[in-house]
Amino acid sequence: MLERRRTRLIAAADAPLRAAISDAAPVPRMPDDGDELRFCSTCAFGSVCVPHGVDKAALGELHCLVEHVGPYRSGQRIFHAGDRFGAIYAVRGGTVKTSLTDDEGREQVLGFHLPGEMIGLNAIHPAKYPCDAIALDTAYVCRFSFPALATLAMRFPGVQQQLFRLLSADIGKAALLAGDHSADERLAAFLVGLADRYAARGFSHTALRLSMARSDIANYLRLAAETVSRVLRRFQDQRLIAVEGRDVVLTDAAALRHLARNIVHG
Amino acid sequence: MLERRRTRLIAAADAPLRAAISDAAPVPRMPDDGDELRFCSTCAFGSVCVPHGVDKAALGELHCLVEHVGPYRSGQRIFHAGDRFGAIYAVRGGTVKTSLTDDEGREQVLGFHLPGEMIGLNAIHPAKYPCDAIALDTAYVCRFSFPALATLAMRFPGVQQQLFRLLSADIGKAALLAGDHSADERLAAFLVGLADRYAARGFSHTALRLSMARSDIANYLRLAAETVSRVLRRFQDQRLIAVEGRDVVLTDAAALRHLARNIVHG
DNA sequence: GCGCCCGGTTGACCGAGATCAAGGCGCGGC
DNA sequence: GCCGCGCCTTGATCTCGGTCAACCGGGCGC
C-alpha cells in the first residue's frame, strides 16, 4: 500500500516497516492476546515489559488500554494544536511530524517521529496539545489514554519509571536545535541521528529513506531549503553520502559523526 | 514572607530574594515542622500540596524526604555533568544556571533557574546528569532523592501528577532557543520571560535584576555578547527598557511582548 | 594609592546562510 | 501522450550577526 516498490540502491530499507504496517492494518482496535512479542517489538513501552522481565501483569493491562488507530494518510492530522489533552501516542508504523504554526502562518517543525517513538508528552503540562501531529506517509499509531496510564503507573513501578524516562528523554531532545551549529553540523547530526534511530529499530545502519520533504528538514534544522540542498550536494561530492531523491546512504558515517560530534542526540 | 518592601526603580531587586535566603540559611538540613507555608511558597511542589488542597499527607512526607543544601557561592557547582543521577533539585534561593561544555571546551548555557524552579529533570533518562548546575550568586537548593520521590508518587496521585507536569513543562521550554528568531526577538522574549517568572514569584512585573553576565545571556540565546550589548542599547534608545548595569526596567512591556509574540514561553 | 583584570560597550569588517530568481525533473491528471 | 504542479536544485546577491580590536570603568589585591 505504501509506496509500492522501493528502488535498488537503498533497496527496501523500510521493508520491515511495511511488514509491521501490513500486520497492523487488519487490527483496527483491540489487540488480540498472544500478541505480546509483536506488540512490544516496536512499542515504546516494550522496554517496560520485555527487557526488564518485570511487570508481566502490566503488559496485559497495557494491552487492554491501548487503542490502535489509523491508517492516517500523508498530510492527515493525528491531533491538532489546542485540542484538549487526553492521550499520548506511540507511532506504530509510518512517520509523523510535530509542528506548530505561528500567528503569521509560518510553520515550525518540532520533530519527526519514527515507529516506536512517543508523541504528545509535551501536552501533559499545558493540558492541551501544544502542536500539530501530522502523518508524513501512511501512518498507524497506538493511543494511550493518559489518565488510564497514570492510574496504571500507580500500581506498576515499571510503568511509572518508563513514563518518567520517556518524559526525561524528550527534555534533552531539543539539543540539536538548541546549539548554534553550522549547517554542516546540523545536517550531519540529523542524518546520523536518523540512521541511529532506524538502526535501533532493526533497519539498516547506513541506508535510509527520508519520509519528509527537504523543506521540512530545513524547517526542522532552522535552515533554508536551499541550504539543505546545497549541503547534501556537497556531502555527496565529498563522498560522505550518496543521495538519490529521498534515499540516502551514509557512505562515510564516521566522518559524519565527527562533524556532528558536538551535537548530542539526533 | 516573600518580598518585604519593593524598592524604587530596581535598586536591590533581589532584596526579598536575599531575605528568603537569610531565612533559609539557618536551616541546614531537616525542615522543622509547622513550616509548611514557607516551604511551599517558593517550592515547585507547593502546587502539589497547597493549591489543590489534596494530599495533605504528601506534604508531610515531602518534608521528610527533602534535604536543604547550600549555600553555594557564585561559581560553585551543585552537580556536575556525568555524575550519577540520584536526585532532582528545586532552587530555594539565588539563581542557578545549567550548562554543558563540549569537547572543544566551549560552554553551552541551557537555562537559568529561579527560586521555585526544578533542575535535574533531564537526568532521569540517561541516569546521569547531562549538564552542570552552577550557582550564579549565593544559592540554596532543596534536594529530592528521586527514588524516594518516585516511591512517594506511587502512593500519592497528586505527587505523581506534579512530577509528570514538571517533566512535561520542561519539554516545551527549549522553544525559545529552538526557533530561528532574530536577536531582537530573542532578547525581548528573554526579558519578558524572566519578568513573568519573577512576577509569578511575587516580584515586580517590570523591574528585574539580571544575575547572570551578558556573556551567559548571549550564550543562552546563541548570540554574541556584543550583539546582546547592542540590542539592549537599541531597546533603551527606543524607550523599551531602561538598563543600568544588571538592573533592567521594562518601560514598554507591551512592545517587548509584541516583539516576542512568536516565541512561546520564556 | 596604583595597576590589573574582568565585564561591558562600541566600531569596523567579514562571512555563513537567507533571499530572490530561474530552471529542471518526476508524477498524477486529463 | 501532454500539461501542470510540487519538489528539488542551482546561481547571484544581500544582510544579520559574528569576529576582531580597542577602549572604558569598577572592584580587588598589593
Q: Is residue B35's pLDDT more than 50? A: no
Q: Is residue A257's pLDDT more than 90? A: yes
Percent of chain B with pLDDT over 90: 61
Q: Is domain A177-259 annotated with CATH 1.10.10.10?
A: yes
How close A78 comes to chain B (CA, Å)? Answer: 19
Q: How confident is the model at residue A6 (pLDDT cuts 50, 70, 90)?
A: very low
Contact B122 A150 (CB under 8 A): no
Instruction: Provide the pLDDT for residue B208.
Output: 94
Q: Which nucleotides of C are covered by protein (CB under 7 A)?
A: 7-12, 16-21, 26
Instruction: Provide the pLDDT for residue B2.
Output: 30
State pLDDT tens for residues A197-234.
999 888 999 999 999 999 999 999 999 999 999 999 99
Residue ranges per domain, chain A?
A: 15-172, 177-259
A160 CB neighbours strand C below 7 A: no
State pLDDT tens for residues A139-194.
999 999 999 999 999 998 888 999 999 999 988 887 767 889 999 999 999 999 99
Nearest nucleotide by C1' from A215 CA? D7
Please state, rounded to an integer, the average pLDDT across all residues of chain B: 81
Beta bridge partners of A248: A208, A243
Burial letters for A236-249: b for 16+ Cβ neighbours within 10 Å, e otherwise? eeeebbbeeeebbb
Average pLDDT for residues A58-66, to the nearest whole number? 77
Percent of chain B with pLDDT over 70: 77
Contact A160 B167 (CB under 8 A): no
CA–CA gap between residue A20 and residue A41 (Å, rounded): 10
State pLDDT tens for residues A78-89.
999 999 999 999
Query: Between the CA of A135 and the C1' of C30, what is the distance in angstroms?
Result: 29
Nearest C-alpha neighbor of A171 from the set B145, B174, B85: B174
Contact B130 A160 (CB under 8 A): no
CATH code for A15-172? 2.60.120.10
Say yes or no: do domains B15-173 and B177-259 share a fold: no
For residues A62 and B206, the model is more confident at B206
Question: Running DSSP on this structure, what letter comes out for residue B129?
Answer: -
**Which positions in chain A touch B110 (Cβ < 8 Å)?**
178
Instruction: Provide the pLDDT for residue A164.
Output: 95
State pLDDT tens for residues B137-183.
999 999 999 999 999 999 988 889 999 999 999 988 877 678 899 99
Instruction: Provide the pLDDT for residue B235.
Output: 97
Q: Which helix (H) or strand (E) holds A79?
A: strand A77-79
Q: Is domain B15-173 annotated with CATH 3.30.230.10?
A: no
CA–CA gap between residue B261 and residue B253 (Å, rounded): 12
